[in-house]
Structure 1
Amino acid sequence: MAEESKGFAIITGSAQGIGRSIALKLAEDGFDIALNDIQSQIARLKEAEDDIQKLGRRCSIFVGDISNEEFVKGMIQEAASHFGSKLDVFVANAGVVANKSVIETPVEEWDRVFAINARGTFLCYKYAAVQMISQGGGGRIIGAGSVSGKQGRPNRISYCGTKFAIRGMTQVAALDLAKYGITVNTYAPGAIETTMLAESLADDTGGVKRAGYLKNIPMGRAGQTNEVASLVSYLASKDAGYITGQSIGINGGTHLD
């Protein structure tokens, strides 16, 4: 028999990659899990749901776009009703990347990336906080930062813009919510072995591009999704109750705070 639930956690963008690893790790930690991603990821969401249930934890799927305010509000309310317990952890993981320079970036792409990464994170922070406060306070809100939110990078004008925005929003939210006992932090990965990284190296002939990429990482390798999940696991724990407003790097030494 599974141990008693610690409460439940919502992880957006959790069909694959870092989000999926976070969901599985938090399930191992004893949380029931609400998974979220867009409709095209439903098959992967169901696979993740099955894996979480095998760990003895309850799981539910919420399909929708986190840039839609009504969806975010409804997802949190429905999840709280479904699990019948407190929302203890909200991980705003969902995001997209774009690789274009300031000159090449069309306004439409800028708006799309900001809608998902910045607006979506803001909505998740806001309504997760509303739910946690309604429960009497306390909780962990954790966002997806990036090394690209600490140092500008070429050809990532919209992506870096959103990640710098998330870092600032996290600091403000941490200050606003401290009086309720809610901490707000981000994990800030560098290169992690995900589909996103694979796509960026898709035209690599003979591994030359990848070798050049890894050469700039002091530890000589990309990170693994479970390493990011372990950081999130700690930030979600009771032991991390005095950490707030931080953007914690996990990047193999590519950026030193």
Structure 2
Amino acid sequence: MAAKSLGVALVTGASQGIGRAIAQRLAKDGFRVALNDIPKKEQELKSVSSEIEQQTGSKPCIALADVSNESQVEQMVGEATKAFGGLDVMVANAGILHENTKIVDLSAETWEKVFAINARGVFFCYKHAARQMIAQGRGGRIIGAASIAGRRSGFEHGAYGASKFAVRGLTHTAAAELGPYGITVNAYAPGFIASPMTTGMTTSALANYGFITPENFKFGEPKDVASLVSYLASKEAHYITGQTVSPNGGVYLN
């Protein structure tokens, strides 16, 4: 038997890694969950949906969309709202990482592709979630994916780092503008998390970011980020807004 719903949460990039863990955690917390990813990830989303239904008794909604396309994001928010009767939590998690490339060799195409997903996509999610929440008049939580690279951009990851700095700036502005409507806006900035995106990355990359030596560091798990998002989405987090919180195992201190 499904627990009483805490509201409706939409998670982008939910087919794998951190997004998947966030969707599972929010469903376990008691949210009705809408799962998003691009169309070619539909089978993976169906797998996540089945897992959540088995674990919680609540069947998620699947809302396919490319977050870099504004009309698709608007439609995605509409689908989640129609399926569950509203939207209370938006987790703009979808993001991509580019291959190690020095700025002098970085192509405009790579720059634009990374920004299209990591920055423009988060902007569209914030914008259309905010519109829906304002219309509902019951407040809400908007949460975006930044990164440790959005605090100290790593060597050969210029486009990725810049896109994550952009998320932090957008989060500040959105928090200020949406506060009067009872909507909090925060971001999470993970460090090194074991996920499909970080496959092949070694602890030697720590030298680009912080102060913990590789031999004293362990990669985190997606559930470590999901637990933070769970709190930011909760009623208890009502007094936290405009913040970027860093679950990074101490690799970068701020």
Could you say which TM-score interval applies, normalised by the shorter chain?
over 0.9
Aligned equivalents of 2:76, 2:187: Cα separation in 1: 21
Q: Can you list the C-alpha shifts for 1:33-53, whole angstroms capped at 9, x where unaligned? A: 100011221111110000111
Counting only pairs closer than 5 Å after superposition, residues 21-60 of structure 1 correspond to structure 2 as: 21-54=21-54, 55-60=56-61
Counting only pairs closer than 5 Å after superposition, residues 152-167 of structure 1 correspond to structure 2 as: 152-167=153-168
**Is the contact between residue 146 and residue 189 of structure 1 (CA under 8 Å) also seen in structure 2?**
yes
Cα separation, partners in 2 of 1:191 and 1:46, compared to 1, 3 Å: same
Aligned residues: 247
Identity value in percent: 50
The residue aligned with 1:205 is none
- 1:130 is paired with a residue whose SS is helix
Counting only pairs closer than 5 Å after superposition, residues 169-208 of structure 1 correspond to structure 2 as: 169-198=170-199, 200-201=200-201
| Corresponding residue to 2:213 among 212, 216, 221 | 216
Aligned equivalents of 1:95, 1:60: Cα separation in 2: 21
Aligned equivalents of 1:142, 1:211: Cα separation in 2: 28
**Is the contact between residue 8 and residue 88 of structure 1 (CA under 8 Å) also seen in structure 2?**
yes
Answering whether residue 248 of structure 2 is matched by residue 251 of structure 1, we say yes
Aligned equivalents of 1:213, 1:152: Cα separation in 2: 12
Q: Can you list the C-alpha shifts for 1:170-229, whole angstroms capped at 9, x where unaligned? A: 00000000000100001100100001111x33xxxxxxxx35346635851000100100
Q: Which runs of 5+ in 2 are unaligned?
A: 207-211
Please give the TM-score of this superposition, normalised by the length of structure 2: 0.94
Answering whether residue 229 of structure 2 is matched by residue 232 of structure 1, we say yes
C-alpha RMSD over aligned residues: 1.4
Aligned equivalents of 2:233, 2:216: Cα separation in 1: 26
**Is the contact between residue 203 and residue 217 of structure 2 (CA under 8 Å) also seen in structure 1?**
no
- 1:87 is paired with a residue whose SS is coil
Aligned equivalents of 1:81, 1:253: Cα separation in 2: 41
Cα separation, partners in 2 of 1:211 and 1:137, compared to 1, 3 Å: closer
Aligned amino acid, residue 155 of structure 1: E
Aligned amino acid, residue 94 of structure 1: A
The residue aligned with 1:106 is 107
Q: Can you list the C-alpha shifts for 1:39-86, whole angstroms capped at 9, x where unaligned? A: 2211111100001111111311111200111111111112111112x3
**Is the contact between residue 219 and residue 252 of structure 1 (CA under 8 Å) also seen in structure 2?**
no
CA deviation after TM superposition for structure 1 residue 137, in Å: 3.7
Please give the TM-score of this superposition, normalised by the length of structure 1: 0.93
Aligned equivalents of 2:245, 2:157: Cα separation in 1: 21
Cα separation, partners in 2 of 1:2 and 1:17, compared to 1, 3 Å: same
**Is the contact between residue 97 and residue 159 of structure 1 (CA under 8 Å) also seen in structure 2?**
yes
